[in-house]
Amino acid sequence: MSLRNRFGVFFFALTFVIACAYSFAEETTTDTACLTLDAQPPVVKSFLIEHVANVAAINSTFPAKLAPEVLAAIFSTGSDRKDPLSRITYDQETGMLRNTLYLADPNSVLPIDPATFDIDGATFGFLDVQVDAVYTSCKPSPTVLVVGCVVRGVDIFLPPAVASYAFSFAYTPEPPETPDDPLRFRDAVSLTVGLGLLYQDHAPGSITFTDHQGPTRRTRSASHCPLP
């Protein structure tokens, strides 16, 4: 088994263990971001994370099936080159996460404002995920793990519907004050189980919190995970 495959298997096993452990934790949450390590984990209302997606770095044993015009735009060395962007959004009210892949001009200011750019018209791939639970923790740093099942999506590797899905990231409690400040999100991992994995070290975006759990109480707290 290659190192890449071992990493994918390891991450899936780790996600499964974490999810099972968190599901039995006491649900002590708050509507405030993790301002200290001892704070109660927050309830996530929504988030938006967007970054350039290095398609060559997607870990999968399946070859990607991208349209010729998409490949030409990504790998062009001329003025017609485009960046592939991954835009991940979550809404607690609907319980849905969407991962959208689309093309935009290089060096675009992220996240892109959909009021000034036709994201739908530039989209070449997406996943819609029905979220089962959102796991939050303030230790060892503020983190979020979203797990669920794909309900629809574009066939880039294989038809993704009914695949298990996990998306995780760490975040800075306070948003950056200027563009020169560190980006708010880091170590973001998107895993479509059995199909592929994408890692991003840093990304801009936004996150909001709420004082209620929503209709299905999807948030789980990791604050009572057993200490080693």
From CA 218, how far away is CA 78, in angstroms rounded? 46
pTM of the predicted model as reported, rounded to 2 decimal places: 0.82
Give tens-digit pLDDT for 168-193. Answer: 999 998 888 877 777 899 999 999 99
Rg (C-alpha) for the chain, rounded Å, is 18
Residue 150: band (very low, low, confident or very high) from pLDDT cuts 50, 70, 90: very high
Tracing tokens 């950056």 back to the chain, one arrives at: 176
Strands 123-137 and 219-221: parallel
How far apart are the C-alpha atoms of 41 and 217, rounded to whole Å?
14
Q: Which range has the top average pLDDT, 118-122, 212-216, 221-225?
A: 118-122
pLDDT of residue 177: 80
What's the token pair of residue 211?
């004082």
pLDDT at residue 13 in the model: 46
CA 1: distance to chain centroid?
27
In the chain, domain spans: 3-221
pLDDT tens string 56-79: 778 999 998 999 999 999 999 999
d(CA 157, CA 172): 33
